[in-house]
Amino acid sequence: MGRELCRAALKTEGITLAGGTVEPGSPEVGTDLGELCGAGKADVVATEEPTDDAGVLIEFTTPEATVGHLAHGLPHVVGTTGLSEEQLANVEQAAESVPIVLAPNMSVGVNLLREVVRDLSAKLEGYDIEVVETHHRNKKDAPSGTALFLARAAAEGRGERLEDVAVYGREGLSPREPGEIGIHALRGGAVVGEHRLVFYSEGEEVEVVHRALSRRTFADGALRAAKFAAKAKPGLYGMADVLGA
């Protein structure tokens, strides 16, 4: 995502690329970011820590790096997924003094789908809900942040907490309980990101699907969120705030 974001930032009006990080100790420290992302020389180099000269820090790294970068006190767009409860609490605390947009999926479509899912879940009373996500073989966290985001919307539609109804994967000899929300992760090849929610009754099956066709869609969403964060008051925001949805 770092490379995708660099390419998008270098081409987007109203955005200036101020810096970019690589993992500490990486051989890419000091490399020109434009050359690193295949866009030609940009005269900005990769560093181990974010520059404090930036107006906004956009984060697609690891949960540990994300929490570490909060110390810079910059307006922050966090796309990193797989954060623990404790790491999320760190983000919430930082948002008391700076604006932070936290979104497991920066695409317009997924964020609009959230409302559709909540509504369907409320109206398709008693239907069995299953969430299936598919990603490329290099994705580290499972299930995806987006699967959890959409599953949480489905639980909310029924007045439930996801923690109380989620079943991750299935194995063994227990039949499906009423009200469960099943969550399943597939990993393979170069799939950018697919999220499927299926609502089953005995007589019908209703499916909603989002397919990201390019990682550029996440980068464009993150830049839109950065423009929002640059002007926002301290607080924790989501993509719905950015999109005005």
Ligand X SMILES: O=C(O)C1=N[C@H](C(=O)O)C[C@H](O)C1
Ligand Y SMILES: NC(=O)C1=CN([C@@H]2O[C@H](COP(=O)(O)OP(=O)(O)OC[C@H]3O[C@@H](n4cnc5c(N)ncnc54)[C@H](OP(=O)(O)O)[C@@H]3O)[C@@H](O)[C@H]2O)C=CC1
Residues recognised as catalytic: 135, 139
Give least dist CB 80 to ligand Y, A.
4
**Does the annotation list 136 as a binding residue?**
yes
Mark 7-46 with x for binding to ligand Y (rule: CB under 6 A) and - for no binding. Answer: --------------xxxx-x-x------------------
**Does the annotation list 184 as a binding residue?**
no
Binding residues among 93-112 for ligand X as defined by CB under 6 A = 104-105
Contact yes or no for 127/200 (Cβ under 8 A): yes
Q: Which is nearer to ligand X, 139 or 158 (CB)?
A: 139
**Using CB under 6 A, which of the segments 59-67, 153-161, 165-173, 202-210 binds ligand Y?**
59-67
DSSP assignment string, the chain: -HHHHHHHHHHSTT-----EE--TT-TTTT-BHHHHTTS---S-BEESS--TT-S-EEE-S-HHHHHHHGGG---EEE------HHHHHHHHHHTTTSEEEE-S---HHHHHHHHHHHHHHHHSTT-EEEEEEEE-TT--SSS-HHHHHHHHHHHHHTT--HHHHEEES--SSPPPPTT-EEEEEEE-TT---EEEEEEE-SS-EEEEEEE---THHHHHHHHHHHHHHHHPPSEEE-HHHHHT-
Give least dist CB 66 to ligand Y, A.
8
**Does the annotation list 104 as a binding residue?**
yes
Q: Using CB under 6 A, pick the residue from 18, 65, 108, 198 that binds ligand Y.
A: 65
Residue 5, CA distances (Å) to 35, 91, 222 in order: 13, 22, 8
Binding residues among 102-141 for ligand Y as defined by CB under 6 A = 103-106, 141
Is residue 60 a contact point for ligand Y (CB under 6 A)? yes
Is residue 80 a contact point for ligand X (CB under 6 A)? no
Mark 131-160 with x for binding to ligand X (rule: CB under 6 A) and - for no binding. Answer: ----x---x----xxx--------------
Binding residues among 19-78 for ligand X as defined by CB under 6 A = none
Interface residues with ligand Y (CB under 6 A) are 1-2, 21-24, 26, 28, 60-62, 65, 79-82, 103-106, 141, 145, 218
